[in-house]
Structure 1
Amino acid sequence: MDLGVTISTDPALALYALTFVLGGALLGTLSGLTPGLHANNFALLLAGAAPLVPGPPLLVGAAMLSAGVVHTFLDVVPALALGVPDAEMAVAALPGHRLVLEGRGYEALRLSAMGSALAVVFAVPLAVPMTFLMIKAWPTLAANMPLVLGTVVAIMLLTENSLSGFAGGVLAFGISALLGMATLDLDPAAPLYGDVLAPLFAGLFGAPILIDAMGGSGIPEQTDKTITIPRRAVLLPAAAGALAGAVVGYLPGVSSAIAAVLALLALPGSSGDRGFVIATSGVNTANTIFALFALVALGAPRTGVLVAVERAEVPLNLPVLLSAVAIAAAIGFVLVLVVGDWYLRVIGTVDYAKLCVVVLTLLVVLSYAFAGAIGIVVFLVSALVGFIPVRFGANRVHLMGVLIGPIALWYY
């Protein structure tokens, strides 16, 4: 059975392939809407389950990519609905949370969906020249990776607009880097999969937001769904996010949030919170496309989903895999608008303090599932570290030292 480019000319085969893509989209929907389930951890579950799935490896890979893409569209939904602080804490809140506090949550969902969808449109034609450029530049980048990553960190610190923020950024980066060095090489016994990324990320980026939000009044009433910024103000952050997705796709340790900040720095004027939501979503989704090309060209998987694809020994047939990405992106766009609005409405009707406790409990359970008893300890320590930037008025992106520090040391 040939599952190459002929897949688009054989209706029966195309329908068979579409079944795998839709199955992946369903899994991505469930994972994207589950608070605390990071895409990388979800991808590890996919890699473990792949051998059990009946079907050609190429289509299993298409299902994995479909799940990963839909996850990048939908993970904004619980991110916006959970961890919303009191209005008095709006300045310290994440950009998406500030929009929810203003009653613009529906608009934030639409901006995120547009950022992700436009990033796919921009990233596909950019991927070929960017990959060619990276093939040429990679030996130099790899030889100087500590300097490259150090430059990224320095730029991020310089974006802080106060001495307190700068000091908090340095402290957050340093301690999170030490945390990463102490934990990333652990191989704990666990019920699901021995991996410490789940408790690390849940503690650093999830628990502090939820704990701060427990004293809040929850989600205020959301107003209309109108996008209140000009079309140009949507296109530019989306394009910048797509281009920055190449940085995430090729450079290890650089997160979507870091790339979004760097992208917005390059734009004329200020796009504000809305631009950040668009750019971050764009980076997150475009990253999948660039990482796929990086795997084909360099043999280096840069995302958890692509690690899963490599482990499952999926044939790297770009036409089929990119088709799966495109279909999944269309599905993800629709789901954000339909499921996202419903999610915000439902969350707005529940007791917010109790909800935060439930989600925190879920994070503890996920930490144990992925890393056993050690995972719970890592989660608790990471949660303490996660409070550092917000208490100093610094950006949370400095906590990505948990990956950047160990990676820079490894290349050194």
Structure 2
Amino acid sequence: MGFLAGLLPGIHPNQIYFFILLSGLGLEPNIFVVFLASISVSNIVFSYIPSFFLSLPDSSTIVNVLPAHKMVLKGDGLKALLISLTSIIIICLIVVLCLPLFIFLVPLLQKITKPFIHLLLLLLVAIMIIIEKDNSKRFFALFLFLISGIFGIVTLNSKIISSEKVLFPALTGLFGIPSLLFINKGKLPKQNSHEMYVKLNVKVILSGLLAGALAGILPGAGESQAGTVVSLLSRLKDEEIVGSLAGINIANLLFSVIALVETGNIRSGLAESLSTIEIKHYFLLFLGAFIFSLGFSCILCIFFSKWFLKLIEKIDYEKIGRIIIYSTITLTLVFTGIWGLLVLIIATSLGILPLLLGVKRTNNMGFLMLPVILHYSNLVM
């Protein structure tokens, strides 16, 4: 199930989690925990294939798509994938080995930072705008942040379409389809498949671990916001950013479970599902299943990606782009209906603007960030 949720746009693991809960399968707690651990980790691993090679992001790979796609266009797509897989394995092992320390720190950090979430996010927004090249670009960046933020407030609070369902058309429109519309003609550049040496320095691992930890334990701070911080503030190369952002994905997931175990706070769909049982009694089982599934999924992902690349390298990349766009429209209609299609159209229009105005596409993160800022500043219910 995690394999399918990762590969197929429009299927989020949260949908699988909630389906399991609603269907009343009556799984024993130990089987339930292993099942959820396997789904969550395999989804992360396999989601890199469509997000890297087809530019179809979800909420956990939005920022990662941009540097990874640059590597794909240079023929280094497989290297980007290997960097991501190596990063998540290393960070997963660090979290497990340092578990006693993190169990102590997580409740403390949550208590200290919760009153200042909106201020921290406002600081991030200010940095995003200031680093634009000149005042006109800064004005456009602020405009994009506000307009995408208003769009986020309206859609995420809509009673017509659920906030979970609206994420696929919104995020794909803001960050995926615009890249496909502006794609160059010709085939996908031949991807290097020779033996590659992947090296991750301490800065890459630490940035992924710390940013992912903050995303996993702080209310209002998600993977996308953490990824934006790393992308904007670090002086990492594209390869290093890819590794750091992959680390954020896995650290966020693990720390959201640690936060559930230690504080009872729910920070993810996985944590919400695990909260239905006495997770403290099954936490070590969860970690064991998580690590085993991670290793197995990484091996399977490497073999599958090589086959996948051989297939798409033979097809005109512009045609692939059109097929993906048509498929996205179809999936949007199937999963979210006509209102989801309307969201997709509006989001795509907003997603094109940064390319036309020459500003960073991360400014469209206002879609997720502005609603959170308003919520934690008590300006909205």
- TM-score normalised by L of structure 1: 0.80
Separation in 2, partners of 1:235, 1:37: 35
In structure 2, list runs of 5 or more residues that go unmatched. Answer: 57-64
Q: For 1:57, give the aligned amino acid.
A: P
Equivalent-residue separation in structure 2 for 1:371 and 1:242 (angstroms): 34
**Further displaced range: 247-256 or 161-170:** 161-170
Output the aligned Cα RMSD: 2.7
Residue 224 to residue 370, structure 1, CA distance change in 2 (3 Å): closer
* Equivalent residue number for residue 208 of structure 1: 178
Does residue 33 (structure 1) correspond to residue 7 (structure 2)? The answer is: yes
Report the Cα offset of residue 108 of structure 1. Answer: 1.4
> Which residue among 172, 190, 213 is the counterpart of 1:246?
213
Question: Aligned-pair distance for 1:132?
Answer: 2.9
Name the CA shift for 1:183/1:283 in 2 (closer, same or farther; >3 Å).
same
Matched length: 367
What one-letter code is carried by the residue in structure 1 that aligns with 2:294?
Answer: A
Q: Which residue of 1 aligns with 2:59?
A: none
Taking the aligned partners of 2:81 and 2:161, their CA distance within structure 1 comes to 38
Shift of 1:400: 2.2
Cα deviation, 1:63-100, whole Å, max 9, x if unaligned, reads 1232121111121111221149xxxxxxxx92112212
How far is the alpha carbon of 1:120 from its aligned partner?
A: 0.7
Q: Secondary structure at the match of 2:307?
A: helix
**Which residue type is aligned with residue 49 of structure 1?**
I
Mapped pair 1:285 → 2:255: no
Q: Distance in 1 between matches of 2:54 and 2:44?
A: 17
The separation in 1 between residues aligned to 2:210 and 2:359, in whole angstroms, is 25
Q: Tell me, what secondary structure is at the counterpart of 1:222?
A: coil
Runs of 5+ in structure 1 lacking a partner? Answer: 1-26, 85-92
Match of 1:19 in 2: none
Equivalent in 42, 45, 55 of residue 16 of structure 2: 45
Q: Which is worse superposed, 247-256 or 333-342?
A: 247-256
Contact conserved, 1:73 with 1:285, CA < 8 A, in 2? no
Task: Look up the match of 1:73.
Answer: 45
- For 2:16 and 2:160, the matched residues in 1 are separated by 16
Relative distance call for 1:345 and 1:166 in structure 2 (3 A) is farther
CA distance in 2, matches of 1:127, 1:395: 37
Whichever residue aligns with residue 29 of structure 1, its letter is F
2: CA distance between counterparts of 1:116 and 1:33? Answer: 18
Q: Residue 314 and residue 391 in structure 1: after superposition, are their counterparts in 2 closer, same or farther (change >3 A)?
A: farther
In the other structure, the counterpart of 1:302 is 267
Matched with 1:327 is 292
What is the aligned-residue identity percentage? 26
Other-structure match for 2:190: 221
Distance in 2 (CA, whole Å) between partners of 1:45 and 1:352 is 32
Contact 1:61–1:314 under 8 Å retained in 2: no
**Conserved? CA contact 1:60–1:314, under 8 Å:** no
Spell out, residue by residue over 1:164-209, the C-alpha distance to the aligned partner (whole angstroms, 9 max, x if none). 554443222211110111111223368xx97322222222222212
Name the TM-score, length of structure 2 as normaliser. 0.86
